[in-house]
């Protein structure tokens, strides 16, 4: 057993050189921020920024709210809500104790307490990492999905919410009635136009309560859009056990991440805000170009390496990147999709690509291919690949690599790799809807999967060039295996000049 993580042991932890401890007096923390969703990403990214904020201003301490599961709360409650964050660049791997969580509540157990903190006048900022599903929206329209069971249930008992959106609206009503200060609610989930989606669903939900509440929200609450970036793999049980061993800090739920982090936030706030700019966030009038860049190059790159890697028999992202054929393809894929992007001043997409390749190669992250392609049918193939194909068609640039990833995804759905080993495709929708079976039966014809998946626009489905290219690649993958098929693509593409950027920035 190592040194148990708790307030009383912080000094000992620092003196033994085990981790950097909070450089502020935790007893002075107030709860200016409520964070919804104790996900790995939330704890590895948003809370890391807020921990820096707490150093200079203790009023921005955090109350963490989990909706259903009590797992993280149970783990952290025994350790005064402290946890360790390992920021692994592959060489030094510094560990930092994050101290900014003041309290943690599980909504299913203490719903009133959640409403109390969300409507407290001390709360000025809400941040959210509740995953795409947590918004209750229809991804096709970006508006509240009144047909969803959880939303229906919530709307049937407006004062006893059971969804993130229901809690927000119930709390905003209380804030309206008690004359609370304005509130900023920041979505930190990786969905397109996240601020707009959040505003849409909150306003639609509020309108079911009263037009007056809707108006109040329009006038007093801001929903900035954001681009968030940091690779935060899921902590494995092995890592948890390892952290409990002698010579370490005993932390029941540590988080491991990389050195790089980025948070671009739309300059759209209501009332008082922590100085996020001072701790490295970028505040900008328009986040959309940053979001598109990250979604298509990084998340699209993840989609590529995860799909191709798994088919080639690799479980880990860095292992797949260690295969030169796959690495060259991923690099060329990123270059191809960068041609579809709107230029951003001071940003060099080639430097950005080089940095991304280095991040994906980081062995210390040990990230899983199955994580980066998880639920691809519903939430990944469209924003990470097909949107780039549509832009490429419109701009008359190349879509060859995107078509290859599309074909590889169709093949991946079958759940058998090039060595004939079966694997779990980690895509609930594809399994439950029968799409996986359709892929297995379709014998080299991509059309049945494309038609059934719901991810392709009619324009893309009727684009002969794109569809023929997908069909050709699918044929090659089946015929030569994924690596053999990639070799054919790489031969047609000039060898990418990947010269690694030395620093963690990619600006000019």
Site residues, ligand CS2 (CB under 6 A): 190, 229-231, 299, 302, 371-372, 374, 380
Q: Burial letters for 1-27: b for 16+ Cβ neighbours within 10 Å, e otherwise?
A: ebbbbeeebbeebeeeebbebbebebe
Residue placing its CB nearer to ligand CS2 in the complex, 107 or 264: 264
Task: Please list the residues that pair with 178 across neighbouring strands.
Answer: none
Residue placing its CB nearer to ligand CS2 in the complex, 221 or 344: 344
- State the minimum distance, in angstroms, from the CB of residue 301 to ligand CS2: 8
107 DSSP 8-state letter: T
Residue placing its CB nearer to ligand CS2 in the complex, 131 or 398: 131
- State the minimum distance, in angstroms, from the CB of residue 308 to ligand CS2: 14
Distance CA 90, CA 362 (A): 6
Residue placing its CB nearer to ligand CS2 in the complex, 64 or 360: 360
Residue placing its CB nearer to ligand CS2 in the complex, 227 or 439: 227
Assess contact for 71 and 100: CB atoms under 8 A: no
DSSP letters, 274-286, are --GGGGTPEEES-
Residue placing its CB nearer to ligand CS2 in the complex, 202 or 276: 276
> What residue number has its CB nearest to ligand CS2?
302
- Provide the 10 A C-beta neighbour count for residue 351: 17
Question: In angstroms, how far is CA 234 from the centroid of its own chain?
Answer: 12
- State the minimum distance, in angstroms, from the CB of residue 486 to ligand CS2: 20
- Provide the 10 A C-beta neighbour count for residue 495: 10
- State the minimum distance, in angstroms, from the CB of residue 303 to ligand CS2: 7
For residue 103, give the H/E element and its range: strand 101-106
Distance CA 298, CA 231 (A): 10
- State the minimum distance, in angstroms, from the CB of residue 151 to ligand CS2: 24
Instruction: List, in sequence order, every beta strand (DSSP E) within 173-286.
Output: 183-187, 221-222, 226-229, 249-250, 255-258, 262-266, 282-284
Residue placing its CB nearer to ligand CS2 in the complex, 26 or 353: 353
Residue placing its CB nearer to ligand CS2 in the complex, 380 or 414: 380
Distance CA 103, CA 384 (A): 36
Task: Please list the residues that pair with 142 across neighbouring strands.
Answer: none
Distance CA 446, CA 58 (A): 56
Q: What secondary structure, in 3-state letters, does 450-484 show?
A: HHHHCCCCHHHHCCHHHHHHHHHHHHHHHHHHHHH
Assess contact for 259 and 35: CB atoms under 8 A: no
Distance CA 173, CA 119 (A): 8
- State the minimum distance, in angstroms, from the CB of residue 302 to ligand CS2: 4
- State the minimum distance, in angstroms, from the CB of residue 429 to ligand CS2: 15
- State the minimum distance, in angstroms, from the CB of residue 396 to ligand CS2: 28
- State the minimum distance, in angstroms, from the CB of residue 144 to ligand CS2: 24
Q: To the nearest 10°, the Cα dihedral for 359, 360, 364, 366?
A: 150
Residue placing its CB nearer to ligand CS2 in the complex, 31 or 370: 370
- State the minimum distance, in angstroms, from the CB of residue 380 to ligand CS2: 6
- State the minimum distance, in angstroms, from the CB of residue 182 to ligand CS2: 29
Give me the helices (H) in 373-495, please: 376-379, 381, 387-395, 400-412, 428-432, 435-441, 447-453, 458-461, 464-492
Task: Please list the residues that pair with 226 across neighbouring strands.
Answer: 265
Distance CA 189, CA 41 (A): 9
- State the minimum distance, in angstroms, from the CB of residue 412 to ligand CS2: 15
Minimal CA–CA distance to 188: which of 345, 9, 47?
Answer: 47
Residue placing its CB nearer to ligand CS2 in the complex, 88 or 190: 190
248 DSSP 8-state letter: S
Residue placing its CB nearer to ligand CS2 in the complex, 335 or 379: 379
- State the minimum distance, in angstroms, from the CB of residue 216 to ligand CS2: 33
Residue placing its CB nearer to ligand CS2 in the complex, 40 or 248: 40
Residue placing its CB nearer to ligand CS2 in the complex, 249 or 372: 372
């Amino acid at each position: 057993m190592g040194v148990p993580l708790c307030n009383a042991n912080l000094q000992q932890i620092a003196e033994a050189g085990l981790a950097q401890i909070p450089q502020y007096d935790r007893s002075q923390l107030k709860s200016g921020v409520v964070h919804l969703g104790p996900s790995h990403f939330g704890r590895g990214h948003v809370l890391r920024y807020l921990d820096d904020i707490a150093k200079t201003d203790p009023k921005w301490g955090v109350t963490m709210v989990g909706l259903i599961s009590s797992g993280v709360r149970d783990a952290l409650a025994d350790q005064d809500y402290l946890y360790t964050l390992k920021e692994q660049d592959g060489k030094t791997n510094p560990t930092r104790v994050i101290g900014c969580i003041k309290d943690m509540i599980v909504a299913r157990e203490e719903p009133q307490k959640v409403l109390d903190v969300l409507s407290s006048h001390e709360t000025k900022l809400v941040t959210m990492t509740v995953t795409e599903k947590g918004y209750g929206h229809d991804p096709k329209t970006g508006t509240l999905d009144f047909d969803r069971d959880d939303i229906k249930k919530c709307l049937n008992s407006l004062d006893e919410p059971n969804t993130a959106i229901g809690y927000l609206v119930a709390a905003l009503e209380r804030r309206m009635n008690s004359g609370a200060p304005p509130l900023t609610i920041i979505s930190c989930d990786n969905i397109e136009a996240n601020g707009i989606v959040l505003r849409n669903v909150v306003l639609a939900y509020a309108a079911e309560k009263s037009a007056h509440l809707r108006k109040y929200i329009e006038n007093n609450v801001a929903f900035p859009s954001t681009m968030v970036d940091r690779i935060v793999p899921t902590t494995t049980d092995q890592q948890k056990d390892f952290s409990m061993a002698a010579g370490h800090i005993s932390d029941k739920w540590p988080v491991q991440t990389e050195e790089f982090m980025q948070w671009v936030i739309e300059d759209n706030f209501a009332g008082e805000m922590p100085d996020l700019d001072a701790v490295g966030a970028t505040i900008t009038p328009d986040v959309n170009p940053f979001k598109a860049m990250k979604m298509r190059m990084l998340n699209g790159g993840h989609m590529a390496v995860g799909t191709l890697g798994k088919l080639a028999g690799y479980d880990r992202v860095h292992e797949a990147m260690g295969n030169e054929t796959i690495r060259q393809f991923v690099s060329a894929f990123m270059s191809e999709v960068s041609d579809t992007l709107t230029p951003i001043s001071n940003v060099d997409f080639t430097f950005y690509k080089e940095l991304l390749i280095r991040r994906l190669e980081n062995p210390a992250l040990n990230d899983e291919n199955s994580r980066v392609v998880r639920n691809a049918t519903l939430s990944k193939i469209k924003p990470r690949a097909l949107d780039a194909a549509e832009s490429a068609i419109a701009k008359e640039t190349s879509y060859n690599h995107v078509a290859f990833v599309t074909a590889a995804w169709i093949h991946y759905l079958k759940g058998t790799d090039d060595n004939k080993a079966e694997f779990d495709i980690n895509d609930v929708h594809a399994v439950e809807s029968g799409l996986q079976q359709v892929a297995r039966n379709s014998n080299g014809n991509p059309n049945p999967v494309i038609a059934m998946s719901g991810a392709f626009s009619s324009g893309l489905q009727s684009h002969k060039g794109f569809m023929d290219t997908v069909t050709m690649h699918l044929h090659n993958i089946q015929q030569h295996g994924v690596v053999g098929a990639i070799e054919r693509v790489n031969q047609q593409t000039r060898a990418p000049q990947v010269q690694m950027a030395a620093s963690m920035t990619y600006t000019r």
